[in-house]
Amino acid sequence: MKNILTAAALCLPFGSLMAEEKPELVVYTYDSFVSDWGPGPQIKAAFEAECDCTLTLVGAGDGAALLARIRLEGSHSDADIVLGLDNSLMEQARDLDLFAPLATAPVGLALPVAWEDDTFLPYDWGYLAFVYDNTKLETVPANFEALANSDLSIVIQDPRASTPGLGLALWVKAAYGENAPDIWAELSDNIVTVTKGWSEAYGMFLEGESDLVLSYTTSPAYHLIAEEDSTKSAAQFDEGHYMQIEVAAKLANSDESELADDFMAFITSDAFQNVLPETNWMYPATGVAVPEGFSEMITPMPVSGPLTISDVDRKAAVEEWVRVLSR
Amino acid sequence: MSAPVKAFGITAILIVVLLVFAPIVALLTRTGVEDIPAATWPAIRFTLLQATLSALISVTLAIPLAKALARRRFWGRSVMVSLLGAPFLLPSIVAVLGLLAIWGRSGIFSDGLAYFGLGPLDIYGLEGVLLAHVFFNLPLATRMLLQGWQAIPSEHFRLAAQLDLAPRARFVLLEMPVLRGAVPSALLVIFMLCMSSFAVALALGGGPKSSTIELAIYQALRFEFDLAGAAQLATVQLVIGLAAAALAFRFGTDTLFGGSLEQPYQNWDKRRWPRLMDASILLLVVLFIGLPLIAILLNGVTGLMAGFPAGLGLAWSISVGIALVSAALALALALSLAHMIEASSSGTRIELVVMLLLATSPFVIGTGLFILINPFASPFELALPITALVNAALSLPLMLRIIRPALGRVDRNYGSLASGLGMRGWSRFRLLTWPQIKPELGFATGLAAALSMGDLGVITLFAPPDIQTLPLMMYRQMGSYQMDAAAGSALILVASSFALFYLFDKGGRHA
């Protein structure tokens, strides 16, 4: 019993330990950003070295959970900055009227597409892609039609629960428009299963459950650089690839407004950008050099069509996906 | 009933009512109500189908297994009874990967088939969902039935052997009453648990055909931010849960046997066929349960060989702390509730409401509590106490199903005698009730501790920076490509959950 009480005592009072005198900047982000292997720890150290403040990174699930969290808290949120929404969620986020315009125009952005937005600031980006094991796959499909006509197996994520899954639904929609349902119908016998999130899908692929998995063109770079394993490759599709552009924005109700502006400016600095490739495994948003292994990655074209999507169109694309695959 | 017991019991009921209904009300206050979208009907249908089949298959298979475990004594039996708790404690993603290592397209069976030019095995679809749910719940059902079997006084078996009862008569006189008591209860618990399955059902279900109500809730809360829609779906789940519980209570009866002198059980049945039958059943189950566990173990060991990640120790202590606090809380609440239900004329109704907790959605509870708490206090500061409380509450239905029948048995067998002797209050509990229901208490508390340990639950919404539980850490590792490290954390998580469970369970059975 004594042990239990000690444990209880240990659990309760940590809230009071967080009181500090330095100003505190609170950034809400997704879980993998704050993990020990993510960019979080290095970003925190780098920013605190120059701001004389405390940078608190709060992990709030994945990108969609992050948006839901901000919606829940509304204008009462403790967050000063939200970092980790992407272009597929951006319009939903904008409609909330919770975000403040950027104090200064972003400097040095080098995305493969033109980017102009007065609220959301890109910090990294990547292309969705199907990743495969190049020691096992002989014929690599060159587009969705080839994939659908092959007997290759794929694991994908559910667009109702996962941001890459949503990206795939939007990718097919952008590439095939009205014919998207036909592509999905033909793909349905290739789909081994659909998972709740990226981790489950990628884990199942690594266990050998499918020939390909929906991930990013930069996923092989992780295996190459961190594990010295060159057996993973991404398939280049000639329809072009869906771009995921990850963005940050400042909340209008931030009580550390100046500090938040400083952090937004810090995002496009080399100190921030250099951390991303080997922690977030995405391309930096500015022209900083990428690590060597990245040069071996495929460099596809972005799929044509708008970068962002309205809430109505997003819902329609997801409903179409469910309808076709439920048959 | 003494005053503290009553106070605890009423507190428990308040907590239950709060957690079942308040989150739904909180969600409804934020947005308007619309009709349930047509797309959810297939989800409701699939949820009912898979949960019903999962419960039926698990319990049907559990009957011969529990019988075999009850009437055989063999080396390793005690370990096996405890190991039956293990699958139930696995985080869903770990269990899925473990099952796929055996049954997947490149699992050992598929590899074996490939040797003969066949396969691969394709389990995705309803069969995959059922496989996983039976893997999770067959052991739980077995433990619940075994509990019933062990309530049969050993003298009855001796008498049955002396009278040389035919198997049929033995079944009617001894086993039928046990099954009448335990089967509806086990069916209900498993039905409810499978109803709110979501990640497993989706991953092994093979596509949106296998969508459950819980997925629709998750989608409504995460992507659509349709809080009212989520509240409606949660209500649908509650109504289904209520109907299932009412049905199970209608057909379930308490098992009535006379008292026993607590003679150790001996098996007088020496026939060879039943023995062979039992042995093969036990062997099959050991393989079915054991192989995926071994796969998880091997994966985890590989992950841990690469080194212990920083932060593992802290995450582990937080998780164990939460688990112990919530187990202690759950034990106090469940015992008081069980006393109250036994003593009250409206006991069944109280238990019905408690059972509804199994039909709640963790996402709805998390979001609802967040809406309720956020205006008044920082959720960060309350994260750990709330997690402990919610975890404790969520294990109440299961604990109650285990503890309450045991309490009833003691009261029926010894109640009048104890009252005649003037035993009351604490001394009656210490001298009579405690020694009698200790195995059930140990089992139930072990489950509560281990479930709390492995639960991701509300901590995801409330987790303050720098504080993470072991399951949260594991998921974050997976999200950063650290699959091997995650397998290592999963092993530590599962081993710790199981150790907690084992300590309580074994402690209850032998101390």
Instruction: Give the three-state DSSP class for A246.
Output: strand
Q: pTM (2 decimals)?
A: 0.89
Alpha helices in chain A (DSSP H): 2-11, 14-17, 31-34, 40-51, 63-73, 90-94, 144-149, 163-176, 180-187, 198-206, 219-227, 257-267, 270-273, 311-326
A126-243+298-326 CATH: 3.40.190.10
Amino acid B206: pLDDT: 86
As a whole number of angstroms, the distance between CA B454 and CA B451 comes to: 5
User: Which pLDDT does position A79 carry in this prediction?
Assistant: 93
What single string gives the DSSP state of each residue in B371-438? HHHTTTS-HHHHHHHHHHHHHHHHHHHHHHHHHHHHHHHHHHHHHHHHHHTT--HHHHIIIIIHHHHH
A62 and B328 in contact by Cβ < 8 A? no
Task: With beta carbons under 8 A apart, name residues in chain B contacting A322.
Answer: 39, 208, 211
Measured between CA atoms, how close is A240 to chain B, in angstroms?
A: 25
Answer yes or no: is pLDDT of A6 > 60.
no
Asked if the Cβ–Cβ distance from B483 to A206 is below 8 Å, we say: yes
Binding-face residues of B in 23-52 toward A, CB within 8 A: 39, 42
Tokens, residue B452: 């709390």
CATH 3.40.190.10 is right for the domain spanning A22-125+244-294: yes
Nearest-by-CA chain B residue for A56: B465
Interface touch A326/B322, C-beta < 8 Å: no
Chain A partners within 8 Å of B100 (Cβ)? 204, 207, 209
Q: Which residues touch A291 (CB under 8 Å, ≥6 apart)? A: A221, A225, A277, A278
Q: Which residues pair with A156 in a beta bridge?
A: A194
CB contact under 8 A, A58 and B465: yes
Q: How far is B4 from chain A (nearest CA, A)?
A: 18
Residues 402-431 of B with CB under 8 A from A: none
Cross-chain CB nearest to B208 (options A1, A64, A194): A194
pLDDT greater than 60 at residue A1: no
Contacts A196 to B, Cβ<8 Å: 198-199, 202-203, 215, 218
Could A326 and B378 be called an inter-chain contact, meaning their C-beta atoms sit closer than 8 Å?
no
What is the CA B214 to chain-centroid distance, rounded? 17
Nearest CA to B215 out of B225, B203, B224, B202 is that of: B202
Q: Please report the pLDDT score of residue A75 as a whole number.
A: 86
Position A2 scores a pLDDT of 42
Contacts of A32 in chain B (CB under 8 A): 476, 479-480
Cβ atoms of A155 and A213 within 8 Å: the answer is yes
Q: Please report the number of interchain residue pairs, chain A to chain B, with beta-carbon separation below 8 angstroms.
A: 194
Question: Which pLDDT score, from 0 to 100, does residue A50 have?
Answer: 92
pLDDT in tens, A205-245: 999 999 999 999 999 999 999 999 999 999 999 999 999 99
Kindly tell me the sign of the dihedral angle through the C-alpha atoms of B291, B296, B301, B302. Answer: positive
User: Beta strands A212-216 and A121-133: pairing type?
Assistant: antiparallel
Q: Do A200 and B475 touch (CB under 8 A)?
A: no
Mind telling me how many Å the CA of B32 is from chain A's nearest CA?
A: 15
The shortest CB-CB distance from B199 to any of A12, A35, A200 is to A200
* Residue with the larger pLDDT of the pair A74 and B35: A74
Any chain A CB within 8 A of the CB of B475? yes
Q: Give the dihedral of Cα atoms B40, A158, B465, A84; nearest 10 deg.
A: -120
Enter the DSSP assignment of A114: -
**pLDDT for B35:** 62
Q: pLDDT tens per residue, chain B (511 residues)? A: 567 777 888 888 898 898 899 998 888 887 665 666 666 888 999 999 999 999 999 999 999 999 888 878 888 888 888 888 788 888 888 899 999 999 998 888 888 888 888 878 888 999 999 999 999 999 999 988 888 877 777 777 778 778 888 878 877 787 888 788 889 989 999 999 999 888 888 889 888 888 899 888 888 888 888 888 889 899 999 999 999 988 888 877 666 565 555 555 666 666 778 888 888 999 999 999 999 999 999 989 988 888 777 788 999 999 999 999 999 999 999 998 888 888 887 888 888 888 898 888 888 888 888 888 888 887 777 888 888 888 888 889 889 888 888 888 888 888 888 888 888 778 888 888 888 888 889 989 998 998 888 776 667 777 777 778 888 888 888 888 888 888 999 999 999 999 999 999 888 877 5
Question: How far is residue B474's CA from residue B487's CA, in Å, rounded to a whole number?
Answer: 8
Contact (Cβ atoms closer than 8 angstroms) between residue B367 and residue B458? no
Nearest to B105 among A12, A166, A208 (CB): A208
Distance between CA B314 and CA B500 in Å, rounded?
17
- CB-nearest to A196 from B124, B202, B311 is B202
The sign of the dihedral angle between the CA atoms of B133, B136, B139, B142 is negative
For A57, nearest residue in chain B (alpha carbons) = B465
CB atoms within 10 A of CB A107: 9
Reported ipTM: the value is 0.86
Residue A258's identity, in one-letter code, is: E
Residue A122 has pLDDT above 80, yes or no: yes
Asked if B330 is an interface residue toward chain A (Cβ–Cβ < 8 A), one would say no
Residue of A nearest to B475 (CA): A199
- B148 is written with which tokens? 């019933």
Residue whose entry in the numeric block shows the structure tokens 């989706």: B202
Best of B102, B378, B481 to disrupt the A interface (most A CBs within 10 Å) is: B481
CB B443 within 8 A of CB B143: yes
Give the residue extent of every domain in chain A: 22-125+244-294, 126-243+298-326
CA separation, residue A286 to residues A243, A278, A283, A289 (Å): 16, 15, 9, 9
Q: How far is CA B57 from CA B50, B60, B250, in A?
A: 10, 5, 21
Determine, for residues B100 and A207 on separate chains, whether the beta-carbon distance falls below 8 Å.
yes
As to burial, measured by CB atoms within 10 angstroms (0-12 exposed, 13-18 middle, 19+ buried), residue B178 is: buried
With beta carbons under 8 A apart, name residues in chain B contacting A321: 208
Which among B101, B219, B380 is the nearest to A160, CB-wise?
B219
Between B453 and A192, the higher pLDDT residue:
A192
Nearest chain A residue to B120 by CA: give it: A209
Q: Which residues contact A23 (CB under 8 A, 6 or more apart)?
A: A53, A54, A256, A259
Q: Is B445 in the A-facing interface, judged by CB distances under 8 Å?
A: no
pLDDT in tens, A37-58: 899 999 999 999 999 999 999 9
**Average pLDDT score, chain A:** 90
Q: Does B97 touch chain A (CB under 8 A)?
A: yes
Q: Provide the CATH number for the domain formed by B1-30+306-511 in this structure.
A: 1.10.3720.10
Q: How far apart are CA B335 and CA A115, in angstroms?
A: 62
What local confidence, expressed as pLDDT, does residue B351 receive?
Answer: 86
